[in-house]
Chains A and B, each alone.
Chain A
Amino acid sequence: MAAYANDILVSSEWVSNRLDDIRDDDPALQLFEVSVDTEVYADGHIPGAVNLDWNAELQDPETFDVPTKAEFESLLESYGVTPETTVLLYGDMMNWFAAYAYWLLKYYGHDDVRLVDGGRDYWTNKSRQVSTEQPCVSERTYTVTGVNDEIRVDREVVQDAIDSGVSIVDVRSPEEYRGEVLAPPGWNEGVQRGGHIPGAINIPWSRAVSADGRFKSPSELQDVYEPVTDSDEEAIVYCRIGERSALAWVALHELLGLDQVQHYYGSWVEWGNTVGAPIQRGRYAEQKLEKKDEN
């Protein structure tokens, strides 16, 4: 089987064989759990893993943006990470938010980041060791030396990319892409208009992973992302709030090795609420609500 373009995945077996190193308060290796459901960490996690709360720590609640450079540095410092640390990440729901943490670390230029393939569910389904102990880590110094702007785009760049040959990939569910669901239940992420960025193709994020939660093989990923890999142009990925698309970014940029893949962090919440931003198959929220009431 052909290999992935970059060696960024580690198997659960690889982690299992290094649990002593992970448990040590040694900056060489640091393991983080980043789960959508932040409470599952307390039920039991990979021994030595530190819990990262995506909602409180991996986004800036004030600006609704990624943490600032200073916030990011102090976060990593508090968890004993240095620029030389090999950071291992895993989480629930097929590594969805772990992949976002991966992208964020790459955005702030961290060199060595790995994802534990399959994430939390694969680990527990294999009945591997879990612990409820919270590891103690010593504070260390972390300095961001450069921000990797090439892997992130803002709305203006996306606007320019429409009709320019750039592949725009919408990783949300088909019903969100079609504009049938405006406010996903249970998330405070509603928008005024449904639909998608004109020209965007819908490849739901979960298609990058197998039923057991591990990433698909390189040839399977090639098939899934054929519309993107067939083009020599750049690609932009987006989702609802810019987290699930990070998993597609990992698949395209890291595993398939496409050079120019960018993550639109503002995603649909920004686009769908922006006055004047063009959409396809859009309609106003009120119309959808009326239709819902008929059912």
Chain B
Amino acid sequence: MRELTFGIEYEMNADPVMDVFIEYPDVIAHSLDGCVTEDHFWRVERITGPTTALNRIEELRLDDSICGESITETDCSATRHHDVLKRTNNERVLYTYLEGISGCESVHTLAGRYLPPGLIFETHRQEDRHDWRILMRSDEKVGMLYDSLGAALRSQLTFRMGHLRDAEGWQQDTLAAVSLPASQRAALKAAIKNGYYETPRQIKLDDLAEQLDMPRSTLSYRLRQAEAKLARGYIGETVEE
């Protein structure tokens, strides 16, 4: 099994769904998608974040006149099926099935054209970026996918290459990601980057707080809140804001 990873960055007003992610940086989505054929795909996407943003995304998804899949200049025409599998104040799980896609290109249609059947897509959206991991049985024609993606992208979209290598690992918690407020996520990222979670710790909380130029109590609070949410989310408890 091989995997190709890449990201697509969106400018504001380039895509109605991505606009919501740009407007609400706390919104995170993870999806698992599969191509049935070149012009059919299904997707289950779990989105977490503020209720207003989730309602907006759900509204866009259920509106047949909005595309949200095309990466080219023109919208896709397709028969769209959507369903809401889970709806809480800070979580939405949406099922999507598109068939008879024509008039556009999406990552799914291009991958379906050049890569062998049986593809799995893992994706992650946050802020202006939609990251893709495509798992494939063979990467024989992946160069054509790469070049056709580059050629197809409309002007407000930017391609960022990741890697092509043997597939390893599985994001078992792909559909159980926990949304953290931006401040808590930033604290967590800084702590990981500076070795706070290494054994033994490579940095003391006081030093990290000083480095981040914030009171020790604030940093400590944010980390504890983030840790609690992650722990509860892992066990499966619903974490309400």
Contacts and interface: CB of A to CB of B under 8 A. Distances in A.
A185 B144 CA distance: 9
Contact of B151 (A125, A186, A204): A204
Given A37-B141, A205-B151, A211-B72, A186 B161 contact: no
A184 B162 CA distance: 11
A186 B160 contact: no
B159 A173 contact: yes
A187 B158 contact: no
B4 A185 contact: yes
Interface size class of B (residues with CB under 8 A): 20 to 34
A185 B160 contact: no
Classify the secondary structure of B's interface with A: mixed
Nearest to B151: A206
Summarize A's interface: helix, strand, loop or mixed.
Answer: loop
Interface string A212-231: 00000000000000000000
Interface in B156-191: 158-164
Interface stretch (A45-53, A131-139, A150-158, A174-182): A174-182
Contact of B74 (A37, A184, A211): A211
A36 interface: yes
A185 B115 CA distance: 13
Interface in B9-63: none
A204 B143 contact: no
Interface string A5-41: 0000000000000000000000000000000110000
B151 A292 contact: no
A94 interface: yes
B192 to A, nearest CB: 13
A185 B164 contact: yes
A70 B143 CA distance: 31
B121 to A, nearest CB: 16
Contacts of A36: 144, 147
B205 interface: no
A226 to B, nearest CB: 15
Interface residues of A, number: 21
A261 B161 CA distance: 31
B109 to A, nearest CB: 12
Contacts of B142: 185-186
Contacts of A173: 150, 159
A91 B32 CA distance: 33
Contacts of B141: 37, 186
Contacts of B114: 37
Contact of A185 (B151, B152, B158, B161): B161
B162 A204 contact: no
A36 B140 CA distance: 13
Nearest to B74: A211
A169 B73 CA distance: 24
Contacts of B4: 185
Contacts of B158: 174-175
Contacts of A204: 150-151
By CB atoms of chain A within 10 A, which of B73, B150, B152, B162 has the most? B150
Contacts of A180: 160-161
Contacts of B148: 93
B145 interface: yes
19 contacts: A36-B147, A37-B114, A37-B144, A93-B144, A93-B147, A125-B102, A173-B159, A174-B158, A175-B161, A184-B143, A184-B146, A184-B147, A185-B142, A185-B143, A186-B145, A205-B151, A211-B73, A244-B147, A295-B163
Interface of A: 36-37, 93-94, 125, 173-175, 180-181, 184-187, 204-206, 211, 244, 292, 295
The 5 closest A-B CB pairs, nearest first, are A186-B143, A186-B142, A206-B151, A185-B164, A173-B150
Given A93-B148, A181-B161, A185-B142, 5 more contacts: A36-B144, A93-B147, A175-B158, A185-B4, A187-B146
